[in-house]
Amino acid sequence: MADDNNTQAAAGAEEQPQQQFAMQRIYLKDLSFEAPLGVEAFKKQWKPKVNQELNTKTNRVDDDNYEVVLTLTITVKLEDDTAFLTEVQQAGLFMVKGLEGQQLAQVLNTMCPQILFPYAREAIDNIVTKGSFPALMLPPINFDALFAQAVAQAKAKAAENQAETSH
């Protein structure tokens, strides 16, 4: 009887694909730094206004591998002048098996960027200090909350579009 239960459990496990996630590679895809004020930036009192933009992009490489690119753009202004602008595209190759639809989207848009973010933050910090500016301490980002917000906005927009077409 115990053998029958084990056989049934094994058959059930075979029907459902096994979920797998693995980081294959982390790499710097692009990095830029500009200091348009030059030496004038160092003559001004350092009271920066920091603007941070964030974007993620996913490309399917093959059946189970995805490239996720996290782009962080940081603009630092002193009064109305840009002291420096830096952008990093931190990328990773991730193997994801056994996930589809919403689960796959959530992993690619939350877990992968969460892994990439510390690398992007370090790249920005290094380039900023090499530009002779004070180090930036970028705060952590809650990618789960950003994803939930994006899903809610997409649902609201879809409902709005559906209401417009039904009139």
CA distance 126 to 1: 63
The count of domains in the chain is 1
List the CATH number of the domain containing 109: 3.10.420.10
Domain assignment present for residue 75? The answer is: yes
Asked whether residue 13 is assigned to any structural domain, the reply reads: no
Query: Is 164 a domain residue?
Result: no
Structural domain boundaries enclosing 134: 18-159
Please indicate, yes or no, if residue 9 is contained in any of the structural domains.
no
pLDDT tens by residue, the chain, 167 residues: 555 555 555 555 455 668 899 999 999 999 999 999 999 999 988 899 999 999 999 999 999 999 999 999 999 999 999 999 999 999 999 999 989 888 999 999 999 999 999 999 999 999 999 999 998 888 899 999 999 898 888 888 877 777 777 66
Tokens of 55: 């974007």
